[in-house]
Amino acid sequence: MSSSLFSSIALGDIALANRIVMAPMTRDRAGPGDVPTALMVEYYAQRASAGLIVTEGVQPSLVGKGYWRTPGIHSDEQIAGWRAVAEAVHARGGRIVMQLMHCGRVVVEANRGFAADVIGPSPIACPTPVPGPDGTPTDCAMPRALTSDEIPALVEEFAQAGRNAMAAGLDGVELHCASGYLINQFLNPASNHRDDAYGGSVEHRIHFPMMVLTALAEAIGPGRVGFRISPGNPYNGMDPTDPAATFAPFVKAADSLGLAYLHVVDMGLAELDTLDLLRANFSGPIIANNNLKAESAAALLAAGRAEAVSFGRAFIANPDLVERIAAGAPLAKPNYALLNTDEAEGYTDYPSLTG
């Protein structure tokens, strides 16, 4: 059964022992300087039996930070912090890629702890509030529109972040192109009103995202670069209509790079079979996500609709999710009130089946 949850697979240059992936989850536990902490090392190590861990969203630069206590990958201290995470996961036989998440316009300035620009494709604020330092929903800042002259340096920031992730010993990176963050802001007409080479037609809207993917592939090798999309997701002010018009050409263009994988948050759209659309336009491995259970995940693999599956919330309270699924054991429920504290409680204190 080559397609079972427990069979091995290669995603580009990354060899997975099983097809159960831990989805990226922001948990707000970074220390001063947005450096990964020993607590984060423990958290990821506990979950190393996943075939692949995708880290929480990590900012490639100061300007990429929008949320409270999120980690970065642009300083020596951050690289050292991530090295400890990667070593702990590898010591337990796991694999780990870093999600590169540039928030773009989704920024509450009080979350940063430093002064920096807020940028976006156009001067249009994110219409929905996001949590501030105390968790209270807070209006996002008005972004400054990037000039076209600034784009090459921004692309290089992503490439450098990719190199930094590799220097820290991670197995690769996943570019966050989903959920209304910077890459998605360029893709979507609600946040991109540009009339230059980066906005307007779909060819122009995918231009910057493709520049970043291309630069990452050149920087660390295409077999170590994945990307994540969420077609039809209205989160953070995205226009959810007609996602196929943008995502078919985007995914098709990305396919020419020979990337490690495409990770999709399948919104279960009534009007579009997202997995079919992606299969028709992307020849590499697909990781499917969203609301999956062991049975539905196994069915997707058995039907050949995806090569791997990812679970987010199920990994919060079940560090040994892979072993629990294998044993048919019940899953523990997370305490959502403790998601975004800076404590071990509700983070590293969920026991595995064996204690």
Ligand X SMILES: Cc1cc2nc3c(=O)[nH]c(=O)nc-3n(C[C@H](O)[C@H](O)[C@H](O)COP(=O)(O)O)c2cc1C
Length of the chain: 355
Q: Give the nearer residue to ligand X in terms of CB position, either 228 or 305.
A: 228
Q: From 228, 198, 227, select the one nearest 214 (Cα to Cα).
A: 227
According to DSSP, the β-strands at 144-145 and 119-120 are parallel
According to DSSP, the β-strands at 137-138 and 144-145 are unpaired
Question: What one-character DSSP code corresponds to residue 165?
Answer: H
Binding mask 194-233 for ligand X (x = CB under 6 A): ----------------------------------x-----
Q: Tell me which of 181, 198, 261, 347 is the catalytic residue.
A: 181
Query: Is 181 labeled as catalytic in the residue annotation?
Result: yes
DSSP secondary structure of 246-284: HHHHHHHHHHTT--SEEEEE----SS--HHHHHHHH--S
Binding mask 288-327 for ligand X (x = CB under 6 A): -xxxx------------------xxxx-------------
Binding mask 73-102 for ligand X (x = CB under 6 A): --------------------------x-x-
Q: Which helix (H) or strand (E) is 52 found in, with range? A: strand 52-58
CB of 203 to ligand X, least distance (A): 25
Q: Give the nearer residue to ligand X in terms of CB position, either 128 or 204.
A: 128
335 is a contact residue toward ligand X (CB under 6 A): no
CA distance 31 to 53: 21
CA distance 112 to 131: 12
339 is a contact residue toward ligand X (CB under 6 A): yes
CB of 183 to ligand X, least distance (A): 11
Contact footprint for ligand X (CB under 6 A): 23-26, 56-57, 99, 101, 176, 178-179, 228, 265, 289-292, 311-314, 339
Residues with a known catalytic role: 181
